[in-house]
Amino acid sequence: MARILIAGAGVGGLSTAHRLRRLLPRTEEIVVFDQSPVHTFWPSLLWLMTGTRQAPDVVRPLAQLREAGIRVVQSPITAIVPAEKTLVTADQSWSGDALVIALGADVDSGAIPGLAEVPGNFYTVAGAQAVWQQLHDIEQGRIIVLISRVPFKCPAAPYEAAMLIDGALRKRRRRDAFEIEVWAAEAAPMAVAGPAVSQAVVDALAHRDIRYHPNHTVDRVDYAARQLIFKERQDSVPYDLLAYVPPHCVPPVVTAAGLAPLGGWVAVDRHTLETVYPNVFAIGDVTGIPLALGKPLPKAGVFAYRQGEVVAETIAARLLGRPSAETFDGQGECFIEMGQGVAGFARGNFYAEPTPTIRAYRSGRHWHAGKVAFERQWWARWW
């Protein structure tokens, strides 16, 4: 009997586990490990922060995977021994025939002085709820969406957040009482997708009277005074409501395993997702895949999902002694929520050289409907 270990039951881990279950006979064991009892559908947090979803809408219990023939271990992984394809949890050591590391990116508000005191980290369920609570109650003022550091998950998310906040205030007929601004530690939105996509997002912000301040890296936050202090400015920037993207880092257990250089991400073969250790794969946000234009592949669920399918196919083929032709080719797409029931859409090949070839489609209500349908399908497929 073979055993495949999957570290992390996020987008990539679930995609790997379900594809493997379809490809392998029930005699082969698939074990998924996660510190959390629930799977979170992260894109819905943008709707949670603007009041169109409630917290129970964005999570589902992982225990239900057992009904699909997938073993679930709910425990933090405390160590990884890649050379032995072994994971260590609080009370047990687990060895497998293949190991898939899908632990995502950790978020660490504590890396910036004062930031962790601010409740509006919309990259967590509690933080997204906190933004909605404030947005619901506030009557006027300056709302700042802050991108504290790069890289971060879903390059579109903070820009979508700003436009969804704009839409929520227009719905309340209170937009005139607010300034909305995006302050970003990056030079342009979604830069990997190319200048045309960046400009389309900048134009969409301007069209909604959302002021954009790129190239600003926050140094610290004075929570009591509600001020942001940036490295590039002498004066501080006041806010009334702060919604922020926290700094991201590789999970410490991955660094401790020697899989990622200090401050870096896991290196993999960009087509097979295999690490330097045979039959040890890493997928999704935990990886760092350099692109020819000098920036890494963005951290996005669309890539984690597809990479999980490719890795499952490779593992199954090796176990069953048959060839596998599936590789990850860098294709991806994303919806861009713009508020008031409208969204944009972009799709293309992020592995194209010398630069990714991405097509941005004209925004409309149908793309928003597409994103809502995608969320519904996500839950219907597996829960």
Which residues of the chain form contacts with ligand FAD (CB under 6 A)?
A: 8-13, 33-36, 42-43, 45-46, 76-77, 102-104, 123, 153-154, 157, 251, 253, 284-286, 299-302, 304, 334-335
The residue at minimum Cβ distance from ligand FAD is: 10
Q: Do 206 and 69 meet the contact criterion of CB atoms below 8 Å apart?
A: no
Question: Which CB atom, from 77 or from 221, has the smaller least distance to ligand FAD?
Answer: 77
What is the closest distance, in whole angstroms, from the C-beta atom of residue 88 to ligand FAD in the complex?
10
What is the closest distance, in whole angstroms, from the C-beta atom of residue 371 to ligand FAD in the complex?
7
What is the closest distance, in whole angstroms, from the C-beta atom of residue 336 to ligand FAD in the complex?
8
3-class SS letters over 205-237: HHHCCEEEECCCCEEEEECCCCEEEECCCCCCE
Q: Do 165 and 136 meet the contact criterion of CB atoms below 8 Å apart?
A: no
Q: State the Cα–Cα distance between residues 140 and 167, nearest whole angstrom.
A: 15
Question: Which CB atom, from 87 or from 180, has the smaller least distance to ligand FAD?
Answer: 87
| Type of residue at 73 | V
DSSP states of 9-21: -SHHHHHHHHHHH
Q: State the Cα–Cα distance between residues 206 and 199, nearest whole angstrom.
A: 10
Describe the chain by its helix, strand, coil percentages, rounded to 5: 35, 30, 35
Question: Which CB atom, from 231 or from 383, has the smaller least distance to ligand FAD?
Answer: 383
What is the closest distance, in whole angstroms, from the C-beta atom of residue 48 to ligand FAD in the complex?
9
Question: Which CB atom, from 216 or from 299, has the smaller least distance to ligand FAD?
Answer: 299
Q: Write the DSSP symbol of residue 321.
A: T
DSSP states of 166-191: HHHHHHTT-GGGEEEEEEESSSSTTG
Question: Which CB atom, from 79 or from 177, has the smaller least distance to ligand FAD?
Answer: 79
Question: Which CB atom, from 163 or from 237, has the smaller least distance to ligand FAD?
Answer: 163
